[in-house]
Amino acid sequence: MARPITLQCALCGHLQSYEPFIPAICAHCESQWLEARYDHDAFKREILRGLPNRPSNMWRYQDVLPLDNPSALELYPAGGTPLWLSQRFAPNLGHAQTYFKDERYGPTSSFKDRQAAVAVAAMNENNIREAVIASTGNAAVAYAAACARAGIKLWVFMTSLVPQEKLREAALFGAEVIRVSGNYDQTKQIAAQFAQRKNLLLDRGASSIPARESMKTIAYEIVEQLGWKAPDWYIQAVSGGLGPLGVYQGFKELYEMGLIHKIPKLAIIQAEGCAPMVHAFKAGKDVAEPITPDTRIIILSTGDPGKSYTYLWNLVQKYGGTMESVTDAEAFSAMRALAKSEGMAVEPATSVAFAGYEKMRQDGTIKEEELVVVNCTGHTFPVEKHVLGDQWAVDVHLSKDQSPAPREGLQSALENLDEKTTSILLVDDNPDDALLIQRLLEGRKKYRMYHAKDGLEGLVMAKQKLPDLIVSDLTMPGMDGFGLVEELKLDPRTKDIPIVVVSAKDITVEERTRLNGHIEAVYQKGSLPTRKFVDQVIQVIEDKNGS
């Protein structure tokens, strides 16, 4: 039997019983950080015996996971991932003792497989057949796969900014996928309201005992793989912070059992465009203020970490460590460096951790003699399109054989290449209109074309792609063309991009005044042939490129 004997409040020490899927809140001080207590003496005896007849995955440590009788369940396999010593990436930075905890070996290539495995096992044990989760991507896919195995219906809420491949992957496992046109924090609110209205279980992330406890198996594995010793540093990229919170519960349990002699220093790394924890940490605050995410790494776009940051802050204050941010560009650079030096393809969210590690080595935060473990999770697939864009390579055809290209052929190829590197973003909620304009433009010039389905998506894509020209409809649901134009002109990165607006209705004097000075041209559908409109668009591009 592994059910927690009791829950203990980390702040006031109050003890209370464990109830599955009831929000873990202290009945005495209302703290939301309760720690599960098990029969650690009995488990230590099993460890000292070598954990005989145990599986080589996370269920090896089932004695300290919140299930009544794990051995009676058909448990979803997760964990048991390798710990690799860096061969070139870390040595290139003058560091010989860096290990990668390679969570890509889980069922869906993410450390979230551990969370899904324990949470879904607890659902199964308590006869829960339908549940709700909000996610930035990886958790949704992991839960969808685990729920598919358990026969549990899952409702997945994800922001529409999440790469479509992630959305489709969750749907492939049979989850009901709900796309929300908003940020992750808004998506969580919608998911909670939906679950409450339908009286369904809502996975609560860091405040869920099964979800949080699952992550400590990472610490148990690291310590066992290092020969029952703790590293000097544990580094992880975070969004909401559930991962390291759970991992450190494992390190603390091992320390309390006397199996390790120290608890590692903790490094929390965030994307610079969504780093509320880092901002608060560097300001010396124990509460993080919510921010609006502005990063291409959507999986790490939790703008409001809530209490999770305060708990992480307390861990760093007690055991040492730091919080650091890196730019998207630094993360993508680290991703490429890791792939080329170690043969490891990781997703952008993980490369944030490696970029943070690079920064910490370069500024001397990590000493040469210290042993470091970096959490490595997620494959570049299926999100490589999000990193590289839809058109990550441009073909240049000079000749069919290997003979030198004639000068006129080379000149033609260079002109062709110049056209292909010119990009246009179409923002239109009518796919037929957008497709018509795209085909006509591509028929005239070999432009790189992007299409956004509404103003909000168009704003995000404009900031990501920085196109040479934007063609936008005026009347769209949500953020319309007027709002899009105004937002683009407020951002220094996009304020100089030429904009051509398209309207299906007559534009009033007030509307023209609102657009005046912000756009290059207005095209009213039906006022002139579409081909002539395309000529105007091409002229705007050529004027821009010639200036």
* Each residue's pLDDT tens digit, 92-141: 999 999 999 999 998 898 899 999 999 999 999 999 988 999 887 888 99
CA–CA separation, 491 and 470 (whole Å): 15
- Comparing 380 with 21, the larger pLDDT belongs to 21
* Helix/strand/coil for 246: helix
304 has pLDDT over 70: yes
Closest CA to 353 of 137, 100, 97: 100
pLDDT of 392 reads 36
pLDDT in the model for residue 413: 41
Asked whether the predicted pLDDT for residue 22 surpasses 60, the reply is yes
Give the Cα separation of 179 and 186 in Å (integer). Answer: 12
Across 173-188, average pLDDT: 79
Reduced to 3 states, what is the DSSP secondary structure of residue 2? coil
**Residues 6 or more apart from 91 whose CB is under 8 A from it?**
none
Residue type, 291: I
Higher pLDDT, 510 or 145: 145
Task: Output 241 or 229, whichever has higher pLDDT.
Answer: 229
| C-alpha separations of 106 from 116, 120, 237, 263 in Å | 11, 15, 18, 26
User: Please, what is the Cα angle at 414 between 412 and 415, to 5 degrees?
Assistant: 65
Sequence-ordered list of residues with C-beta below 8 angstroms from that of 49, at least 6 positions apart, any chain: none
- Per DSSP, the three-state class of 321 is strand
Q: Please report, rounded to a whole number, the percentage of residues in the chain having pLDDT higher than 90.
A: 42
Judging by beta carbons within 10 Å of its beta carbon (0-12, 13-18, 19+), is residue 213 exposed, middle or buried?
A: buried
**Predicted confidence band at 441 (pLDDT cuts at 50, 70, 90)?**
confident
Structural domains in the chain, sorted by start: 83-103+224-386 (3.40.50.1100), 422-546 (3.40.50.2300)
pLDDT for residue 252 is more than 70: yes
Q: Which of 104-108, 112-116, 479-483, 542-546 has the highest mean pLDDT?
A: 112-116
Structure tokens at 36: 């599960």
Mean pLDDT score of the chain: 84
Whether pLDDT at 411 is above 80: no
Give residue-wise pLDDT tens across range 331-384.
999 999 999 999 998 888 899 999 999 999 999 999 999 999 999 987 544 444
Q: What is the pLDDT of residue 530?
A: 64
Q: Is the peptide bond before 382 cis (omega within 30 degrees of 0)?
A: yes
Nearest CA among 136, 131, 73 for reference residue 110: 136
Residue 360 makes CB contacts below 8 A (sequence gap 6+) with 235, 267, 322, 324, 366
